[in-house]
């Protein structure tokens, strides 16, 4: 699939925002721990991706009721759903001058269409050394889900099952979809939100 950009200005994918808050002291502390000037951009992207994938729990996987949204909240609580985890990965990479955006898939929420659909968030990352965008899914691995960092092929968390009306949206957006942020801000219990409150499409 050919990836499409919302903006041709890479600076739009480097901005700080209320949810991509890379100036927060906790984010700055983690930046200092993760990154070194000697690292290449690809090395930094891999380090940040694997940190968010492996060290930040997916709230549904651990059956937590805690809701996080801002990158700093995700880091402090060490958990979040994909909407929140993508904010943290964007914050870490944008802090290093690596353009990072937001991508989406429409997936079955559980194992059958009858149980509903949900919008899933992953990140688009521009690597100057490759002169192209790659997509990374840091939602967190588990049995049956094995996303990896790769510059040669996409190894995402979920294959799209078009026969079940799942969709892979080609756009890389500069900011998170407002629906995804609104649902995090409007709910107080992750488990209830995840089962009944997630948006189904863009």
Q: Quick check: 127 and 98 in contact, CB under 8 A?
A: yes
For the chain, how are helix, strand and coil distributed in percent, rounded to 5? 35, 20, 45
Query: What are the structural domains of the chain?
Result: 4-196 (3.10.620.30)
Q: How many CB atoms lie within 10 A of CB 188?
A: 9
Q: Could you read off the pLDDT tens digit of each residue along the chain, which spans 202 residues?
A: 899 999 999 999 999 999 999 999 999 999 999 999 999 999 999 999 999 999 999 999 999 999 999 999 999 999 999 999 999 999 999 999 999 999 999 999 999 999 999 999 999 999 999 999 999 999 999 999 999 999 999 999 999 999 999 999 999 999 999 999 999 999 999 999 999 999 999 9
Rounded to two decimals, the pTM is: 0.97
29-140-197 Cα angle (round to 5): 100
The residues near 32 (Cβ < 8 Å, ≥ 6 apart) are none
Stated length of the chain? 202
């Amino acid at each position: 699939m050919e990836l499409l950009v919302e903006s041709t200005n890479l600076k739009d994918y480097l901005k700080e925002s209320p949810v991509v808050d890379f100036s927060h002291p906790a984010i700055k502390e983690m930046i200092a721990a993760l990154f070194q000037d000697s690292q290449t951009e690809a090395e930094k992207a891999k380090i940040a991706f694997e940190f968010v994938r492996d060290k930040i729990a997916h709230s549904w996987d651990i059956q937590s009721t805690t809701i996080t949204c801002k990158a700093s909240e995700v880091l402090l609580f060490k958990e979040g759903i994909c909407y929140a985890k993508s904010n943290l990965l964007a914050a870490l990479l944008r802090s290093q001058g690596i353009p990072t955006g937001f991508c989406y898939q429409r997936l079955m929420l559980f194992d059958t269409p009858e149980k509903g659909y949900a919008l899933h968030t992953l990140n688009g990352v521009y690597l100057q050394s490759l002169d192209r965008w790659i997509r990374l899914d840091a939602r967190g691995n588990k049995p049956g889900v094995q996303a990896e960092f790769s510059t040669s092929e996409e190894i995402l968390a979920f294959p799209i099952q078009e026969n079940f009306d799942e969709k892979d949206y080609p756009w890389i957006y500069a900011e998170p979809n407002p629906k995804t942020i609104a649902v995090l801000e409007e709910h107080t219990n992750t488990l209830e939100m995840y089962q009944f409150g997630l948006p189904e499409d863009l």
